Structure 1
Amino acid sequence: METTTYKIYSTISQLPNYWDEVSLENAFLQTSYLKVLEQSAPSNMQCFYIGVFENFELIGVALAQYLNLNKLESFGERDKCLKTYVRNFVFRNFGSHALFLGNNMITGQNGYIFNKEIDLKTIGEILSKCADEITLYFKKQNIKIHIVSFKDFYQDCAVELKKSSFAKMYEFNTQPNMIFELQPQWKLNEDYVASFSKKYRDQYKRAHKKFEGIETRELSLDDIVLHENRIYELYHHVAKNAPFNTFFLAKNHFASFKKQCGNGFILVGYFLNHELVGFHTLLLNGTTLETYFLGYDEQVQKEKMLYLNMLYNMTKFGIENQFKKIIFGRTALEIKSSIGAAPILMTGFIYHTNKWVDKLMPKIFPRLEPTFVWQQRHPFKES
């Protein structure tokens, strides 16, 4: 750590030269995406950008996000039960100011990247020091950070981090990240469909038959601006009916994304009788295709199997454009596994700044997390 230093920035204009060269392998840490956050982050979110230096040379970048949950209209309206009410009460009163080291808007290990080999002990120390500095920054503004969370690590990283800086933190696993490793022999969508067992080939055919009458087309920036209110309405319907939320996107988020990232960001609209009834979004991240937010009309979704067809369409795009894998994220685990995605366990670390509450974290946290029971599907023929 002697020659490794860091600096925390609050605006994109402050970022050092070569930021994009260092973050080249992760689109979620490139300035084009960070500008999207700066211009259209959720209203209850403030972002911080971290530069890591070795002998004054930039070697790593990271992202932190502060969330004020008091500003949130809803934590999620799908589950109406005692556990949900208790969870909401606890967050309102004991966890309303939260700091995430990482990106709370997406699933995956997207919180930091280095352009050279750095041991995880050093990474853990840097992230912990950054959390302390940002916590102090808010303290000077009379805002007490309640919860600090280090988000989404793959298992090999989590094991190493647990040995050093994160040793005393509560380690947690939420829903897995659904990742689809695309087979290199799939050159066309027909190759993918042919690999299904009969049951899932029939599911594919049934979904496509239901889908008749729906027109799909990729929307330009002008199209996104034109349909902005409807896009947000469809997104908001899905978001507020999720089991748990810590933010809602700004209305201009998708237009801002398209403006900043151009062809690297794709929004596909689904139209029925010339009316927009659904959309999905994708971010091109090197050889990885990242699924982003989507929205749909609930009635059309039921009648047309809209969500399942969206998953098939995203997979088709990934195959035909030669991506190696698709990150489908959390939620809807069973249906995502039915099209080929597999669960990958993600680990986070969390602590409460009140030491007495923190001691109770192993008992409190499992009671706050929604319980998901699901069955993994295996759609492909046995080789």
Structure 2
Amino acid sequence: MTSIYSYKIYNSTALLPLNWNDLAKENIFLTTDYLIVLEKSSPANMTCNFIGIFNQQKLIGIAVSQFIDLNQLQSFGERDKCLKKYLRNFIFKTFSSHVLVIGNNMLTGQNAFCIIENCNKIEVIKSLKLASIELENHFKKLNKKVHITLFKDFEEDEIQHFEKANFEDFFQFSTQPNMVFKLNENWKTQQDYIDSLSKKYRDQYKRSHKKLDGIVKRKIPFEEIKKYEKQLYNLYFYVAKNAPFNTFFLTENHIEIFKKNLQDKFLIYGYFLDEKLIGFNTIIKNGNALDTYFLGYDEKIQKEKMLYLNMLYDMIGYAIKKQFTSIIFARTALEIKSSVGAKPIKMFGYIKHSNKVLNNYMFKIFPYLEPETIWQERNPFK
């Protein structure tokens, strides 16, 4: 396979072309400011590389890749106790512990690449496939054989480009949807949003809001992040390790590094009870959209105070106040996100195992790697 475009792989942001950010202006997660965050504080089991796509000497596309070593994880997640979980963990540890991702495994949505207008997207994807093969060879030389290569999180209208870019040896899959909240342009205040809810969901809002009695929410500035760093990490880690599945855990300094590099585009809000930090959430300003990022909470207080639901309402209130057009709530907790008005956007990916026999049976293996989530979609509006 060849492409009309060439590519170059970079292992440091210091080596990126000077006009890299010109292409990343539509997506903060491909800007050098964010890529430096990955470089300085990516999870311990993750190695990041950056890919430039060129038409002769002109930069026409940029992309990110992540090599993930699952052998370095003590736990994939402790919430589910079932046979499928043990089978999934066995498959990963035994046959699939080294994963190469073209895209960002820490985020939901198309954060794999950006391209200039009027270039050939099919040829760009061919170039990314060729780059993935070079990366596989690179890690093989380091005695880290890539078992699984993954292109992740593309919407339905993008599938046709992969089908025309020689991806016959990959298995196309669909995972949990990306939960996206679209703001009504007529909402000027959070009360406008509340008034648009049906009685059942207005009552849900009022009930959860009353539970916040005694809790103080405030923005945590950069100067205070170090003070709360251990508490923030413990709250995050509790939620992360109790998720159904994890392929990484953040470093303790990740939030501090993120805030230092993204500054006012990265916000962290703390929830305090009797001056003790009992929960937090983070959001990222990404053009006209807000992306939710990692959060954490004390589980006992979260249940009593409906803290997670209140965090969702608070993020909606902020988005309305600042006139964003959408909130990317990502995957997980699908039903509760649906109950506040988020809608599911189906996401697709492409996966290939290095073992040809296993790859031929990927359609049977994949359901164990990514178990189906059964949930009921809600419609909270009148």
Instruction: Normalising by structure 1, report the TM-score.
Output: 0.98
Name the Cα RMSD after superposition: 1.0
Does residue 56 of structure 1 match 2:57? yes
1:107-122 correspondence runs (5 A) = 107-122=108-123
Contact preservation (8 Å) 1:188, 1:320: yes
Comparing 35-44 and 139-148, the one that deviates more:
139-148
1:255-306 CA-partner distances (Å, limit 9, x unpaired) = 0000000000000000000000000000100001000000000001011000
One-letter amino acid of the structure 2 residue matched with residue 374 of structure 1: W
Q: Is the Cα–Cα contact under 8 Å of residues 8 and 49 in structure 1 kept in the other structure?
A: yes
- Partners of 1:159 and 1:59 in 2: CA distance: 20
In structure 2, what is the Cα distance between the partners aligned to 1:34 and 1:246? Answer: 19
With over 3 angstroms needed to count, the CA separation of the structure-2 counterparts of 1:2 and 1:375, relative to structure 1, is closer
Q: Residue 232 of structure 2: SS of its match in structure 1?
A: helix
Q: CA deviation at 1:2?
A: 6.3
Contact 2:61 2:124 in 1 (8 A): no
- Following superposition, the deviation at residue 169 of structure 1 comes to 1.0
Shift of 1:3: 5.2
Q: How does 1:96-175 map to 2 (within 5 A)?
A: 96-175=97-176
Residue matched to 2:249? 248
Mapping of residues 312-327 of structure 1, within 5 Å: 312-327=313-328
Out of 167-176 and 147-156, give the one that drifted further. Answer: 167-176
The answer to whether the Cα contact below 8 Å between 1:3 and 1:55 also exists between their aligned partners in 2 is no
Question: Is the 8 Å Cα contact of residues 176 and 372 (structure 2) preserved in structure 1?
Answer: no
Q: Which residue of 2 aligns with 1:18?
A: 19
**Which is worse superposed, 237-246 or 2-11?**
2-11
Contact residue 122 and residue 165 of structure 2 kept, 8 A: yes
Unaligned runs of at least 5 residues, structure 2? none
AA aligned opposite 2:19: Y
Cα deviation for residue 58 of structure 1 reads 1.3
Length, aligned pairs only:
381
Name 1:66's counterpart in structure 2.
Answer: 67
SS in 2 for 1:143: coil
| Structure 1 residue 159 displacement after superposition | 3.0
- Separation in structure 2 between the aligned mates of residue 21 and residue 219 of structure 1, nearest angstrom: 31
- d(CA) in 2 for partners of 1:45 and 1:178? 26
Q: Which amino acid aligns with 1:336?
A: K
State how far apart, in whole Å, the 2-side matches of 1:120 and 1:294 are. 35
Task: Single out whichever of 133-142 and 232-241 deviates more from structure 2.
Answer: 133-142
Residue of structure 2 equivalent to 1:342: 343
Residues 181-208 of structure 1 deviation map (CA, whole Å, 9 limit, x = unaligned) = 1110011111111100000000000000
Task: Give distance in 2, aligned partners of 1:323 and 1:316.
Answer: 10
> Which residue does 1:265 correspond to in 2?
266
Deviation of 1:123 after TM superposition, in Å, equals 2.3
Matched AA of 2:354: T
The 2-side partners of 1:89 and 1:258 are apart by 37
Query: Which residue is 1:289 aligned to?
Result: 290
1:79 aligns with 2:80: yes
Partner residue, 2:181? 180
Mapped contact 1:151–1:348 kept (Cα < 8 A): yes
| AA of the residue aligned to 1:171 | Q
Change (3 A) 1:252 1:39: same
Structure 1, unaligned runs of 5 or more: none
Conserved in 2, the CA contact under 8 Å of 1:83 and 1:368? Answer: no
Letter in 2 for 1:363: K
Distance in 2 (CA, whole Å) between partners of 1:22 and 1:160 is 20
Q: Secondary structure at the match of 2:52?
A: strand
Q: Name the CA distance, whole Å, in 2 between partners of 1:160 and 1:59.
A: 17
SS of 1:307's equivalent in the other structure is helix
**Which residue matches 1:229?**
230
Post-superposition CA distance 1:20-74 (Å, at most 9, x none): 1111110000011101100100000000001111121112110000000000121
Q: Structure 1 CA distance, aligned partners of 2:241 and 2:154?
A: 26
Q: Tell me, in whole angstroms, the C-alpha distance in 2 between the residues paired with 1:269 and 1:348.
A: 35
Asked whether 1:203 is paired with 2:210, we answer: no
Retained in 1: the 8 A contact 2:312–2:340?
Answer: yes
Say whether residues 1:8 and 2:26 are aligned partners: no
CA distance in 2, matches of 1:15, 1:164: 26
The residue type equivalent to 2:225 in the other structure is: I
Q: Secondary structure at the match of 2:136?
A: helix
Classify the secondary structure of the residue corresponding to 2:240: helix
Q: Give the aligned residue type for 1:372.
A: T
In 2, Cα distance between equivalents of 1:60 and 1:248: 29
Q: Contact 2:4–2:123 (CA<8 Å) still a contact in 1?
A: no
Distance of 2:345 and 2:352 partners within structure 1: 24
In 1, the alpha carbon distance for the partners of 2:365 and 2:81 equals: 19
Following superposition, which runs of at least 4 residues in structure 1 exceed 3 angstroms of deviation? none
Tell me the CA shift for residue 117 of structure 1: 2.6
Alignment-mate amino acid for residue 325 of structure 2: K
